[in-house]
Structure 1
């Protein structure tokens, strides 16, 4: 996260009224929204597959994965193509559908706090840290834990789908 007390760069995005982030190093690219090729019998949060430069990339509705209500795509809806480590040599590319991308921000070590373990909508193990920004907060997500924390190997299933 902030190894050695260094600044971290984060892609900040919105889901509903809340702000989340992922480390810049894990985000391969940001795409305009597109419809996915549906896969039968997939979980509600798994939208299907999309083609990204000749690669089949599983698309995930991040709102639904985090327990939020689904929302219709708008002109601001984006796909964050991220690399998620899955215990193999090559990370799994996932397309995370988000309501909007806000910016790329740099956070100093003093603005990074441990994720509080108070229950609620998101499990604390899915959030790597809380980042202070202006008068609000950004929840820094841990993508590997987010997709591997529901009792079965979700990432392996997505890797097979791709």
Structure 2
């Protein structure tokens, strides 16, 4: 018996190398090509007047990099930093420029390659995350890995989490 051939017009995804990280029990991924470096947590220097998720500036080799609390940006409750807390320095592609941005996350999990065949489209129902901020999901034994579209998340002030049903 031969293996089924893929449909000629079926969209295919390339394998994707990602950095996976955790926020609480949720697991997220960003493409490794956007990650400049990963730093141990240090308290950013406060800059007044920003949105609630903006923490201030982090010194990265003499450059002040705007730093955000990713939990707050996603609409999750803030938590105190732990020994596992990290700042991922991302180069976020925006329409008019590339934004260097520090993103505070609970913990880094791994750098890995996700098979393009395993990446599913973002679900449009049954999830707390707005689909336009998700590039795809991958099923793992422990749950789902949510691949984020960081350009949309940080290029917009829209709420990333859907409002809770009352």
What range describes the TM-score normalised by the shorter chain of this pair? 0.7 to 0.9
TM-score normalized by the length of structure 1? 0.85
CA separation in 2, counterparts of 1:11 and 1:65?
19
- The correspondence for 2:148, drawn from 141, 154, 159, is 141
Deviation at 1:82, TM superposition (A): 0.4
For residue 101 of structure 2, the aligned residue among 94, 102, 114 is 94
Residue 56 of structure 2 is aligned to residue 48 of structure 1: yes
The structural deviation recorded for 1:4 is 5.9
Q: Out of 109, 122, 130, which is 1:123 matched to? A: 130
Q: How many residues align?
A: 148
Residue number in structure 2 paired with 1:159: none
How large is the RMSD of aligned CA atoms in angstroms? Answer: 1.6
Partner Cα distance (2:149, 2:50) in 1 = 22
In structure 1, which of residues 17, 27, 31 is the aligned counterpart of residue 35 of structure 2? 27
8 Å contact kept, 1:66–1:121: no
Shift of the 67–121 alpha-carbon distance from structure 1 to 2, 3 Å rule, reads farther
TM superposition shift of 1:147: 1.4
Structure 2 segments unaligned to the other structure (5+ residues): 1-10, 159-166
- Residues 30 and 79 of structure 1 are in contact (CA less than 8 Å); yes or no, is this contact kept in structure 2? yes
CA distance in 2, matches of 1:104, 1:33: 19
**CA shift digits 1:82-135 (9 cap, x unpaired):** 00012235x111000000000011111221000011265321111111122234
CA contact (8 A) 2:19 2:110 kept: yes
**Is the counterpart of residue 70 in structure 1 residue 78 in structure 2?**
yes
| Pairing 1:57–2:52 present | no
Is 1:15–2:23 an aligned residue pair?
yes
Deviation at 1:19, TM superposition (A): 0.2
Distance in 2, matches of 1:136 and 1:119, equals 14
Q: Deviations over 1:48-106 (max 9, x none)?
A: 111101211000100000010000000000000000012235x1110000000000111
Work out the CA distance in 2 between the residues paired with 1:49 and 1:135: 35
Contact 1:67 1:121 in 2 (8 A): no
